[in-house]
Each structure stands twice: as structure tokens, then as C-alpha cells.
Amino acid sequence: EEDLRPAQIRPLAGTTRHRLCAGQVCVSVASCVKELIENSLDAHSTRLQLTFIAHGADLIELTDNGDGIAEHDFEKIGLRYHTSKLSQFEDLETVNTYGFRGEALSSICIYADVTILTRHASASIGTKLIFDGEGQVISRTPFPREIGTTVSIRSLFNRFPVRRTELQSHSKREFSQALNIIQSFAIISRQIQFFQISSSADNHPPSHPLLTLTPSSSLKDTLAQIFGQKILESIIHIEDNNDDEDKEFKFDGYISRPQHGCGRSSADRQYLYVNNRPIDCAPFLRTINDIYRHFNPNQYPLVALSIEVLDRSTLDINCTPDKRTVFVEHLSNMCDQIRLILNKLFESSSNVYVSSNK
């Protein structure tokens, strides 16, 4: 006999809720890398070393020289909504750290085997912590190391066969997305002095670094380091000459010259930042690409553009768990302004180009 009573609404158990939501934070090698880099930068690190084994499927490890984690925090690191960075919702407007939700490490614990080796300035020796899937510390042993932290993420998605298979079959693509994230932080961070990336495609530890970056205090020099010196010939500075008292945004960055040959065949090198956070903002990028197309119909520009939203109350950085999507209240003004700036820039830059060829 069919049961006609309506289904009952019941609360989900805490662990179930946690597992359901965690999947949105740590969805890929790239998102794990992003969370690790953010944590290291938030801890004032200047030297970062990232190691990948099997393109990150077997190991993603970040060693930093940051503040380290004090012993009284060991049990809290892996717990959901435990953070040292924000204490009340209102702080969102003033928060200057990349992290504030306190959920990255707890979700990574669900999806992978996490080990943290850390030493805080207050400790005479480091400690190695091993976490279980619930984010609880299951082992702690003294271990010598300098002040700083190493977070190791092993066997990502091992307990989730569908995701694991997916990851393994696209591990190269996932790794290149992770590299893109690394570059996006290297471009914007004035804090990183040394950034080394090592990677192996198989299950052996990499024998030598793939890439060493020593980001400079100038954005231009950093771009040259990442994309090669030759890039300097093909990019122009985005000048923001708007001195209005009541302006809402400030722009600073570089973009490919509009002349053919300076751009790229795909939109693969486009980095946007809002108040120093790497972000995704499709409508804004579309505006930039549309203007560029007007001057160069066959290519996409390299873009590294930092936007400062001057009134923090018109900016919401908490739209998605990965914080990559931001909500800018006056987005259409922001698009209008960049359109003005770029049109002027491209018009004068095309003139220079023509006259220098006479």
C-alpha cells in the first residue's frame, strides 16, 4: 500500500552537512593550491615551495616560512568554521586576509590525507600533525624544522572513487590550472620573494624545480619573469588618469598592445584582481576583450589588471565558497570606466605605432 503521508523534514547530522558542503571548496588540485597559497600569504610568508607528485593527484605540498601555528591551535586547524581571521560578519568589510571562512583545511581533510608540519616562533621544535577525515588530529610528534608550516595533501579524492578517476584522467589539465593560480598570486603579491614549483608526472618525487619565481616589487618585472622578457615589448601600462574626488575605482595594470601579433590566440593569460584578490569576473573581462577586438579582431590580450574598489561597502567578496566570484555593486560603472581608459590607450598606442612606421 502506498504511503501517502508527506515526507518528513528532518535535520541532517553535522558530519553529513559538512561532507555535502565541503565539496564546493576543494573541487580540484587548483582549488587546493589556491587555499594553501592563501593560508601561507595570510601567515606572512615570503618564501613558498610547492611540490606536486603525479600532477598533484598523489601529493600537493606547500612549505612556507610564515608565522607557523601555535600549539593551542593544533586541535582547531582542521575544524570547520574555525578561523583566526574573522570574528563577526561585519568584519567582512575590513578583512584584509585572503581567508576568513575557516573551512578550507576542514574540507581538504574530508577529501584527502592531510599532514601538517609546523613550528611557531613560540615553539623550540616543530610538530608533525596527522589529521583524519573529520579534521581531528590523530597523531602529533615532535619534528625539527624552521619557523613556518608545511601542509601536505596526499591522495586527493582517494575516498571518492568517481572524483579520483576523473582527477587521474585529467591530471595534466588540472595541473596547468593550478599553475595558472600560482601565476595569478605571483603577479599580484608584493609579499612573495621566492616561489619554487616542482612537479612530477609519475609517482616519484620531482628531482628538480620546474619553475622558480622571484617576484619583483614592480608588476612589470614580475610579468617579464613569468612570461619572458620579450613580453615587455608587447604590453602597455594601463594608465588611470581619473583624479575625480568621488571616483569609485582605481585601475593599474598591463595589457597587450592592440597591434596584431601582440595578443594571444586564446584568452589564456587574463588575470583580474579586486582589492588584491585574484577573481573571476566574466562580464568585466568580456568588456575588455570586446574593446581589444575592436582594435585587433583576431587576438585576445594578455591582461593583468588590478582594480581597487575604493568604497568597500560596495564590494561583496563572500559570494561563493572559493571567494573567486565577487559582487561589485557598481559593476556597470566599472565596465564603463575601463572602456574609456582602454579606448583612449589603444587609440594613442595605435597612433604611435603608425607614426613610428613611417
Question: Cβ 97 to Mg ion, closest distance in Å?
Answer: 8
Complete edge-to-edge strand list for the sheet that includes strand 137-143: 137-143, 126-131, 113-119, 148-154, 59-64, 47-53, 194-199, 211-213
Is residue 152 within the footprint of ligand ADP (CB under 6 A)? Answer: no
From the list ligand ADP, Mg ion, none, partner contacted by residue 254 (C-beta under 5 to 8 A by kind): none
Nearest residue (CB) to ligand ADP, 84 versus 193: 84
Is residue 78 within the footprint of Mg ion (CB under 5 A)? Answer: no
Question: Cβ 230 to Mg ion, closest distance in Å?
Answer: 36
The residue behind cell 619572458 is: 228
DSSP assignment of 255-311: EE-SSTTTSBSSS--EEEEETTEEEB-HHHHHHHHHHHHHH-TT-B--EEEEEEES-
Coil, helix or strand at residue 344 = helix
Number of Cα atoms under 13 Å in the Cβ half of residue 137: 15
Nearest residue (CB) to Mg ion, 127 versus 149: 149
Site for ligand ADP (CB under 6 A): which residue of 29, 32, 43, 57? 43
Is residue 326 within the footprint of ligand ADP (CB under 6 A)? Answer: no
Site for Mg ion (CB under 5 A): which residue of 56, 68, 78, 99? 99
Would you say 273 and 279 are in contact if contact means Cβ atoms under 8 Å apart? yes
From the list Mg ion, ligand ADP, none, partner contacted by residue 85 (C-beta under 5 to 8 A by kind): ligand ADP
Contact stretch for ligand ADP (CB under 6 A) within 80-88, 188-196, 206-214, 233-241: 80-88
Nearest residue (CB) to Mg ion, 65 versus 149: 149
Q: Is 56 exposed, middle or buried (0-12, 13-18, 19+ CB in 10 A)?
A: buried
Q: How far apart are CA 95 and CA 99, in angstroms?
A: 9
105 closest CA partner among 140, 69, 139, 71: 69
Q: Give the chain's length.
A: 358
Is residue 40 within the footprint of ligand ADP (CB under 6 A)? Answer: yes
C-alpha cell at 276: 588584491
Is residue 148 within the footprint of Mg ion (CB under 5 A)? Answer: no
157 closest CA partner among 149, 148, 167: 167
Contact stretch for ligand ADP (CB under 6 A) within 62-70, 225-233, 285-293, 327-335: 62-70
Nearest residue (CB) to ligand ADP, 118 versus 225: 118
Site for ligand ADP (CB under 6 A): which residue of 23, 75, 102, 158? 102
**Residues 263, 269, 275, 276: is their CA dihedral positive or negative?**
negative
Is residue 184 within the footprint of Mg ion (CB under 5 A)? Answer: no
Would you say 184 and 271 are in contact if contact means Cβ atoms under 8 Å apart? yes
Is residue 321 within the footprint of ligand ADP (CB under 6 A)? Answer: no
Could you tell me how many residues of this chain bind ligand ADP (CB under 6 A)? 23
Would you say 33 and 60 are in contact if contact means Cβ atoms under 8 Å apart? yes
Q: How far apart are CA 179 and CA 250, in angstroms?
A: 28
Is residue 51 within the footprint of ligand ADP (CB under 6 A)? Answer: no
Contact stretch for Mg ion (CB under 5 A) within 2-10, 94-102, 142-150, 283-291: 94-102
Nearest residue (CB) to Mg ion, 104 versus 223: 104
Within residues 246-285, the interface with Mg ion by CB under 5 A covers none
Site for ligand ADP (CB under 6 A): which residue of 28, 31, 149, 234? 149
Contact stretch for Mg ion (CB under 5 A) within 33-41, 140-148, 183-191, 211-219: 33-41
Complete edge-to-edge strand list for the sheet that includes strand 270-274: 235-238, 249-256, 303-309, 270-274, 277-279
Contact stretch for ligand ADP (CB under 6 A) within 66-74, 158-166, 205-213, 257-265: 66-74
Residues of this chain that interact with ligand ADP (CB under 6 A) are: 35, 39-40, 42-43, 64, 66-69, 77, 83-85, 99-106, 149
List interacting residues with Mg ion (CB under 5 A).
38-39, 99, 104
